[in-house]
Structure 1
């Protein structure tokens, strides 16, 4: 199985699932479709067409109407067969349920073209658990976004041991042509990479608040005014490599490796259900109520724009 996907050729994309991630991907694909490409959406909910018509435009409410895509061009399929039969790419963002995905791909395989790319947006179900009922187990690739995918550049490409190199290569080419950052994750790992890092920080945050060291709001302020901005510019390895001066990362560990080890050895080990939830959930609700995600997305988009502008100026784009 081989083929190419280029930004200026016909690429028919089918999205399965109209939840938060599915609609966010729909918003992204709508702004990157080149005529005569087609965006098709399929969902088993009875009001799928109305739901998409009401909610998809919300992703563009801050844009000029002249630059907004035409939502009438989105096709709502009435059956899975209809949705996938002419697709170049099929991207599922359905329930986080292994049985659902297992059965879905077996059905998709019956109707989709043989060279169609099959992507799962799962947050934690590896491709190797999704392909067991398929005839060709080399086709499915996890393409895990960082929420919200219409704004965030990262896509974690997580193959099963049986996923073909051609599928990985074509997927990388597709996303790179659209200005995204597809990272090939070499081995299946619980939670992949981005969430493992984020949840490690979350676990320590829960521990520190639960132990009365800081409040929920204070901890967030610490992150927002320290490693948050720093990590937007450089990840942990580059940051601490810089922190070591001329000796780099080795110098950093030589200088304060003992403190690092003390923190690792003394890291918190709270588990979900241990009893910390009531206190921390209450503090979060008191501090933030219902978070304005539109404001979050607007600021995030602007931050990414500034970073991209600076990279072009410094020649690091």
Structure 2
């Protein structure tokens, strides 16, 4: 699917993820493509007018909002859609009923995407006649900024759906990754939650505070992993011998850390101390600052990888 191809995109669900996707699509839709938003909330049009500007850092987007087709009927929302992207509640019963209705009213060749964080497509599609059509397209929040989309098919999802979806996101300079089989939490969240679990263990054991642990990540693996993931990073860390050399050098230390990893579980009593520490340290996080800095980091990485130099200031020789 070419980025210049006219498409009619319908977003089901106008929560944080849904409106973040709306901000992305509005910036990339070629004319005369159409963006439609459907949600069951009775004040949908007013809610969009009040909330969507938050994704544009205070810019006046009144003319942009006028381009959105706001509807109160699911049938009207999907009737002429090329792409239908659902970002509703994480509730299996709701999603199963929804997709059966969408399938009945939508065009036979429209792409059906669910932005779920953890409910497999195979579970959601049980009431569908054609289970080959549904695909998980899981973003990394916020999707109007973060490039990653995890494409997680069910065993029934057709390869054509996967390839059409991948082509759409690649044509819009995003990074769609085909996850080969359904697994709990997919991949990005599994990696993030593994780090979160060890972070909670270290804080609850009194090794470091919440803010100290965040500073460690922000000043070490955070910037490094923005440039190279763990395999590439540690492959580089092994020098000429690569990843094998890395494990040859400090493999026992790695194993000792794995053996000593924290086994904290939700509901075991650590929550109040960690939650209170985070609240005292950060209060309400300024997500506009987070998004502004994240945009800049991604821009610099893209510029460097493309081999381009921007601006008039030459690098310092010191």
Tell me the TM-score normalised to structure 1 length.
0.96
Within 2, Cα distance between the matches of 1:145 and 1:86? 24
Within 1, Cα distance between the matches of 2:62 and 2:290? 20
Superposed, which structure 2 residues align to 1:147-296 within 5 Å? 147-296=141-290
Please report how far the alpha carbon of residue 53 of structure 1 lies from its aligned counterpart in structure 2 after TM superposition. Answer: 1.2
Within 2, Cα distance between the matches of 1:111 and 1:123? 25
- Stretches (4+) displaced over 4 A: none
**Residue 158 of structure 1 contacts residue 185 of structure 1 at CA under 8 Å; is this kept in 2?**
yes
Give 1:120's aligned residue. 114
Please report how far the alpha carbon of residue 61 of structure 1 lies from its aligned counterpart in structure 2 after TM superposition. Answer: 3.1
Could you give the per-residue CA deviations for residues 136-174 of structure 1, whole angstroms, max 9, x where no partner exists?
Answer: 000000000000000000000000000000000000000
Could you give the per-residue CA deviations for residues 89-136 of structure 1, whole angstroms, max 9, x where no partner exists?
Answer: 000000001111100000001100000000000000000000000000
Please report how far the alpha carbon of residue 314 of structure 1 lies from its aligned counterpart in structure 2 after TM superposition. Answer: 7.3
Could you give the per-residue CA deviations for residues 228-265 of structure 1, whole angstroms, max 9, x where no partner exists?
Answer: 01000100000000000000000000000000000101
Give 1:41's aligned residue. 37
**Residue 57 of structure 2 contacts residue 288 of structure 2 at CA under 8 Å; is this kept in 1?**
no
Superposed, which structure 2 residues align to 1:120-139 within 5 Å? 120-139=114-133
Corresponding position: 1:141 with 2:132:
no
Corresponding position: 1:11 with 2:3:
no
1:304 to 298, 302, 316: 298
Could you give the per-residue CA deviations for residues 45-68 of structure 1, whole angstroms, max 9, x where no partner exists?
Answer: 0001110111112212355x5x98
1:27 to 23, 26, 33: 23
Within 1, Cα distance between the matches of 2:36 and 2:243? 48
Within 1, Cα distance between the matches of 2:223 and 2:258? 23
Within 2, Cα distance between the matches of 1:300 and 1:111? 39
**Residue 31 of structure 1 contacts residue 69 of structure 1 at CA under 8 Å; is this kept in 2?**
no
Please report how far the alpha carbon of residue 7 of structure 1 lies from its aligned counterpart in structure 2 after TM superposition. Answer: 1.4
Could you give the per-residue CA deviations for residues 212-238 of structure 1, whole angstroms, max 9, x where no partner exists?
Answer: 000001000000000001000100000
Give the 3-state SS of the residue equivalent to 2:42 in structure 1: coil
Within 1, Cα distance between the matches of 2:150 and 2:254? 28
RMSD: 1.3
Tell me the TM-score normalised to structure 2 length.
0.95
Within 2, Cα distance between the matches of 1:78 and 1:98? 22
Within 1, Cα distance between the matches of 2:308 and 2:291? 26
Q: Structure 2 unaligned segments of length 5 or more: list them.
A: 310-318
Aligned residues: 309
**Residue 30 of structure 1 contacts residue 69 of structure 1 at CA under 8 Å; is this kept in 2?**
no
